[in-house]
Structure 1
């Protein structure tokens, strides 16, 4: 029998996909994300995502003259909330499911056919509008965990990429000089007073490992370089950092979508603070 609901079609697809347990979970999360996007609602993140029930969406939403347009708009909304690699993975998963549904005759056309994966290199050089002074004041006034405060101050004051900041280890830091130590092939990051005030608090009791950590202990088999030797917690991922920032900034965004981490990079010019250097 042809399913009426998107969620039922997802379950039938997953049941035949021959996926391992880990991949099955990733596919389910990705396809559930599209359910929120297809009805123009933000994808829950962090704790709000655990146990959240996706909206009921008719499978027919993927058919009709506006199906491709609706899906393109959903892709654009998701692009504002996540990194290119995650977005491309989620798009690939959706395309696989849609192709299977078409083969079953449940939908007649593929509305995802015209969607183009995002090029991570293009995304890296894109220049989203930096947050203005009023937006930054509102952001830094939020009462949030110390890890998030350090992450955001570092991104804004150093001008480093998200990858630069998330890859930092405790022993990369030269606290008295407000900079990172020189490492071959890596930029030297300089920070300002906000980061200098917060970093010592984050480092209490820490002797090594990644600077920015997950909330929980990492999985067995995680490389030692990505695990805190004291707590066993892992290195914070790009995806999780982006989710946390978007969720925290939704109340500050008039559009209600939240901001992306790249908007924390300072505007270019002589007034920009901190910065990257060659050491």
Structure 2
């Protein structure tokens, strides 16, 4: 799988962020040492997303010496008819290429991801956090959901978690 796609899928999964926000990232938005980036969330709010060690290892290779411009680059430069309508912040000064588009990312994931959809990475991330007994409040903060009700579908404790919760109700001298 190409490095760009591998990094994008990993970042989408580890950050549990919306694909449109991640695809809009520029290199100057990244805080690599702290594994976080500033994004514009749905509704226009500025929020921070975080990612894990796997994404952190891939990003320097993806950036490869570039200092600014789009993080995820399209494969080709835009045609001359589009050049005048593109914000200079959305063009890589080193390559002349622009942000990878949502539709193209969707097609690439369908091709390399065995039929996966972009939004499924976000849902999978939240679901896996719920299965790992991460609190709904933390999942809500990670995904940027505004309502606890939106997050409830991800928090479905398994039988092992129910057993563990039940044991906390046992008398202390019998636990153990």
Give distance in 2, aligned partners of 1:240 and 1:147. Answer: 12
Instruction: Please tell me whether residue 224 in structure 1 is matched to residue 88 in structure 2.
Output: yes
**1:190 aligns to what?**
50
**2:142 aligns to what?**
275
* CA RMSD across the alignment: 2.2
- Bigger Rg, which one: 1
- Please report how far the alpha carbon of residue 217 of structure 1 lies from its aligned counterpart in structure 2 after TM superposition: 1.2
**1:206 aligns to what?**
66
Q: Which runs of 5+ in 2 are unaligned?
A: 145-176
Any idea what the Cα deviations from partners look like across 1:64-115, whole Å, max 9, x if unmatched?
Answer: xxxxxxxxxxxxxxxxxxxxxxxxxxxxxxxxxxxxxxxxxxxxxxxxxxxx
Instruction: Please tell me whether residue 153 in structure 1 is matched to residue 17 in structure 2.
Output: no
Runs of 4+ in 1 over 6 A off after TM superposition: none
**1:215 aligns to what?**
75
**1:247 aligns to what?**
111
Query: What's the secondary structure of 2:75's corresponding residue?
Result: strand
Within a 5 Å distance, the mapping from 1:7-46 to structure 2 comes to none
Cα pair distance change 1:270/1:259, threshold 3 Å = closer
Give distance in 2, aligned partners of 1:262 and 1:192. Answer: 19
Query: What's the secondary structure of 1:154's corresponding residue?
Result: helix
When the two structures are aligned, how many residues end up with a matched partner?
127
User: What TM-score does the superposition give when structure 1 sets the normalisation length?
Assistant: 0.42
Return the match for 1:179 from 10, 17, 36.
36
Cα pair distance change 1:172/1:276, threshold 3 Å = farther
Give distance in 2, aligned partners of 1:215 and 1:173. Answer: 21
